[in-house]
Amino acid sequence: MSSLNIISNASNPFTPLTPTPRSYITKLRHMHILDTLAFDALKARIAVFQLLLSQNNPSDDSLSAFKKQAKKAWEQFESAKHNLLTNDLFIEISNFDIFMKDLVSSIVHRCNLATFSHIMFQQLIPSLESLYITADSFKYIIPDNWNFIEWELYLDLKTQLYIRASSVSNDNYLDKIFPLNAEQPSSRLTQYLERRDALANNDSIILPSKYPRKTFMSNIFDYICNLSEKFDLPIIVLETKEALSSQMEYSRESSQITTQDQNIENDYGTPLIDSDGLLRPTFRANKYVESFRRFHKYSEQELNQQLEQLKNRANDDHEITVQSADIEMDDFTSMDPLTGSSSNVINNKNTPKSKAVVEIVDRQSSIITDPGSPEVLQDDEVVIESENRKNSPKKRKSGQARQGGWTQRELNFLIKGMEKYGTSWSKIERKYGNPEGPLSRRTQVNMKDKARSELDRRLRCGLPSGVFSLVNAHAKTSSKRARITPQEDNEENE
């Protein structure tokens, strides 16, 4: 699938690509899975081309390993895209239902960017077919409103297409690639005509030196890297990293993991717990690819070993509240997409109910490996065992996990609210605490106590306090119980 056997009109590559319009029928959770695979494919392809640009003669072993990884990531993404949506090369956002367009727009953009990068960055010298496809599909990866950078890059791409076509054939491709009567924005028309005249009045031997291919490839690579950095991390990747970090934090063997988490923090620029996609900093592609590769090849492998040890201890009647994540390093993906969510399945000594939940999740995960298999569950986004036992008057034991704990999503919105409103808990509650809001289960007292406890945890672990420095850093832990309302106490004892 990595080869470019992707258009039926290869004999006449200057025929426009016209995919058959049809509506896409898929589920949002499946689109998040596809988003994760596109993320892996894009970063793997960037890593390959980064190696080609940075080293004049990269070693065969290292380049072969990177290419193998990129090929596998691309094949996984392409297979899932074909099974879920379409056999067309690029995804058309207009083919989604109107209520889905806003929800999947960024996912579609990343998927199309991964496809564009796979075609453009397979080698330092792109083929004529690659240049044609990318020039024809440039609209799929750029913003709706082109600025000077996008327009200049598009002209350079068409220029390289013209130079390459002229070098392999004596036909005159100027009118096909740069038609004189083409519709252009009025502000760019002069620039377009000047470029067309320059190509028409120069010999095909002089053009490559006037418009160097290497400069163009470097410019478009920088543009793709900068564009990819503006995306939020896929939800599955973000939630799995945070879940793994949280699960390892309280393990008795977590000293090594804490060090690894600190390394990840240094690479990404912010603590792992604060991975809010809207506020994620940007950085150069070289650093991003290196930290991405190191995290997936080293840190998560160690985390997986720790999870296996936790599961073994669970067999000795230790009650734990973790959900194992299937991490396959060869897949260049940090988790199994359907079971790697941040929602925890509570395992109470391998009860029949817990086993049934695991079986349901296993059946769901077959959707991607066997797309034609019937679905058991239709619209359930998360499978989780109920934590509330209304008929049990017993108070929780010391050491038992507190039920109704904060989810990572709630903590992210608390951080977002504090960044905007500081410690004005009433404003945060009005903003995010409505019945359908992310903090609907939390009172102002809950938010204040969580902010204090999170500050204490970060200070204890040597992590930056972030927005939680706004609360009193020296509050005594013993005073927390005095501030718990009767309603909270009832919730805790339920």
CATH number at residue 119: 1.25.40
3-class secondary-structure state, position 98: helix
| pLDDT in the model for residue 251 | 54
Check whether residue 40 and residue 163 sit in a common domain: yes
The reply to whether 323 falls in a domain is yes
Check whether residue 487 and residue 430 sit in a common domain: yes
Bridge-partner residues for 320, per DSSP? 347
Q: Residue 462's CB: how many other CB atoms inside 10 A?
A: 8
Two structure tokens written together for 63: 């380049």
Check whether residue 336 and residue 191 sit in a common domain: no
- The type of residue at 154 is Y
Check whether residue 33 and residue 145 sit in a common domain: yes
- The tally of domains found in the chain comes to 3
| C-alpha span between 35 and 431 (Å, rounded) | 29
Torsion of the alpha carbons at 403, 405, 409 and 411, rounded to the nearest 10: 170
Check whether residue 87 and residue 42 sit in a common domain: yes
Check whether residue 461 and residue 346 sit in a common domain: no
Check whether residue 305 and residue 353 sit in a common domain: yes
The reply to whether 92 falls in a domain is yes
Residue that the structure tokens 């079971």 belong to? 339
Check whether residue 60 and residue 37 sit in a common domain: yes
| pLDDT in the model for residue 156 | 92
Check whether residue 155 and residue 255 sit in a common domain: no
- How distant, in Å, are the alpha carbons of 350, 427, 430 from that of 328? 25, 43, 42
| pLDDT in the model for residue 384 | 37
Last residue of a domain, one of 374, 389, 414: 374
| pLDDT in the model for residue 255 | 46
Two structure tokens written together for 264: 């990840």
The reply to whether 393 falls in a domain is no
| pLDDT in the model for residue 480 | 45
Looking at 4-97, which runs of residues are DSSP E strands? none
- How distant, in Å, are the alpha carbons of 50, 268, 343 from that of 289? 9, 11, 28
Last residue of a domain, one of 229, 246, 261: 229
Q: What distance, in Å, lies between the first and last C-alpha atoms of the chain?
A: 55
Q: Which of 203, 154, 212 is nearest to 182 (CA)?
A: 154
| C-alpha span between 339 and 362 (Å, rounded) | 8
Check whether residue 135 and residue 261 sit in a common domain: no
Radius of gyration of the chain (CA): 26
| C-alpha span between 427 and 122 (Å, rounded) | 51
Which residues, at least 6 apart from 393, have a Cβ–Cβ distance to it below 8 Å? Answer: none
Number of H helices, E strands in the chain: 19, 0
**Per-residue tens of pLDDT for the chain, all 494 residues:** 444 444 434 444 555 555 555 788 888 989 999 999 999 999 999 999 988 887 766 667 778 888 899 999 999 999 999 999 988 989 999 899 888 888 899 999 999 999 999 999 988 888 889 999 998 888 898 877 777 788 889 999 999 999 998 888 777 788 888 888 877 777 788 888 888 888 888 777 788 888 998 899 999 999 999 888 888 889 888 888 777 666 655 454 444 444 444 444 444 344 434 434 433 333 344 444 444 444 444 455 565 665 566 555 545 444 333 333 333 333 333 333 333 333 333 344 444 444 444 444 444 444 444 444 444 344 433 333 344 444 444 444 443 434 468 888 888 889 988 988 888 888 898 888 888 788 988 998 999 889 988 888 888 887 888 888 888 644 444 344 444 455 555 554 44
Bridge-partner residues for 333, per DSSP? 328
The reply to whether 19 falls in a domain is no
The reply to whether 459 falls in a domain is yes
| C-alpha span between 253 and 264 (Å, rounded) | 18
The reply to whether 411 falls in a domain is yes
H or E stretch at 306: helix 300-314
- The type of residue at 121 is F
pTM to 2 decimal places: 0.50
Q: Which of 106, 468, 432 is nearest to 277 (CA)?
A: 106
Give the domain range for residue 334.
234-374
| C-alpha span between 379 and 29 (Å, rounded) | 9
The reply to whether 2 falls in a domain is no
Q: Which of 303, 318, 292, 291 is nearest to 243 (CA)?
A: 303
Bridge-partner residues for 347, per DSSP? 320
Residue that the structure tokens 């953009």 belong to? 109
| C-alpha span between 152 and 413 (Å, rounded) | 40
Q: Which of 290, 220, 237 is nearest to 39 (CA)?
A: 237
Contact between 485 and 445 (Cβ < 8 Å)? yes
| C-alpha span between 37 and 336 (Å, rounded) | 11
The reply to whether 481 falls in a domain is yes
Contact between 270 and 280 (Cβ < 8 Å)? yes
CA 232 to chain CA centroid, nearest Å: 6
Check whether residue 152 and residue 190 sit in a common domain: yes
Check whether residue 89 and residue 221 sit in a common domain: yes
| C-alpha span between 325 and 218 (Å, rounded) | 38
Last residue of a domain, one of 352, 374, 396: 374
| C-alpha span between 327 and 340 (Å, rounded) | 9
Return the sign of the alpha-carbon dihedral for residues 181, 184, 187, 188: negative
3-class secondary-structure state, position 67: helix
| pLDDT in the model for residue 64 | 85
- How distant, in Å, are the alpha carbons of 205, 437, 447 from that of 440? 68, 5, 11
Residues in the chain: 494
